[in-house]
Amino acid sequence: MSLSPGSPDSAAGSVAVDPNLDFAGTTPYEDYVQADVLTHLQHLRSDDPGEMVFLVTTQVMELWFTVIVHEWETAGRALREDRVPVAMDALKRSVRELEALNHSWRPLAQLTPAQFNAYRSALGEGSGFQSAMYRRMEFLLGEKSASMLVPHRGAPRVHSELEKALHEPSLYDEVLALLARRGLPVPAAVLGRDLAQRYEPSAEVEAVWAGIYADADQNGELVRLGEALSDVAELVWRWRNDHLVATRRAMGAKTGTGGSAGVAWLEKRAQKNVFPELWTARSHV
Ligand code: HEM
């Protein structure tokens, strides 16, 4: 087979045009994707052959966190502008992305303690707990916490992005503001809440969702929005639980590299549901 551009394809009896091979500098693919940068960011710290997939899975998850943050910021902006279809498109994309993110657990889901120990000490005090992009996801879900900025004091860009996200409305704040603009009785205290604090469930908001779900014919668009948010919440819960089970398999009840109690601490974190009233309202429909 010839590598020269534009060689005749005699089998088909027609002229097939081959891809370009001739570029003065780096390829246009490289210029866009930066694959050379991306595939040289794997600085292993042990000789164990299993460390590579641990590091790359973590990097892949960071990239998915970045995409999902982008989708939820898009959805939040669109909701603020009352462009619900644009928000729905971004939320639905994020659901597919969360599914892909969750499938990324597969290569790490069945590590034995001996396999994990083979490179665990190379991680030092490094822990996913220190992931700033994961915190941005949590902030967008309404799980705000100023103390989560503390580990990033030494990294000005990361710290200022997180600080900005702490004070901005979460995706759920934007949803509740939309419901209020549609005339639904979302309490003023919820609408005017301190955005830097964790969102606390409200009985009145629960009643608003119960009312929306009780009359799906009248509230089709809002029910679809509620269901897209429930899909997001369910997949976040699944990510946390898959992480918990992978951790339980890989290290039992040992202390985490980040200094927490490990599985016991993760168990508490994995119990919670984001967008709480979307779950509790179901008991009243
Ligand atoms: C089997 C491999 C893994 C084990 C054994 C493990 C273990 C742990 C432990 C024990 C914690 C609690 C904090 C600590 O003391 O370190 C934690 C937190 C965390 N890990 Fe992992 N982890 C694994 C893989 C991953 C991967 C691939 C990611 C992807 C980025 C990740 C992201 C996180 C995040 C975001 C937290 C904080 C959770 C929260 O704040 O609720 N972990 N991990």
Phi and psi at 211, nearest 5°, equal -65, -40
Q: Looking at the CA of residue 261, tell me the nearest atom of ligand 1.
A: 15
Q: Domain ranges in the chain?
A: 1-40, 53-251+258-284
Question: Which two structure tokens, joined as six digits, stand for 48?
Answer: 């164990």
Residue labelled with tokens 């830097």: 196
> Is 257 within any annotated ligand binding site?
yes
pLDDT (tens digit, 9 = 90+) per residue, 176-231? Answer: 999 999 999 999 999 999 999 999 999 999 999 999 999 999 999 999 999 999 99
What distance in Å separates the CA atoms of residue 192 and residue 208, rounded to the nearest whole number? 17
pLDDT (tens digit, 9 = 90+) per residue, 132-158? Answer: 999 999 999 999 999 999 999 999 999
> Is 243 within any annotated ligand binding site?
yes
Burial of 159 (0-12, 13-18, 19+ CB in 10 A): middle
pTM score: 0.94
Pocket of ligand 1 (CB under 6 A): 57-58, 61-62, 108, 111, 127-129, 131, 134, 243, 246-247, 250-251, 256-260, 262, 265-266, 269
Task: Give distance in angstroms: CA of 186 to centre of ligand 1.
Answer: 36
Which of 202, 188, 277 has its CA nearest to residue 233? 277
What pLDDT was estimated at residue 4? Answer: 46
CATH number assigned to the domain with residue range 53-251+258-284, chosen from the 4 options 3.30.70.260, 1.20.58.480, 2.40.100.10, 2.60.40.60: 1.20.58.480
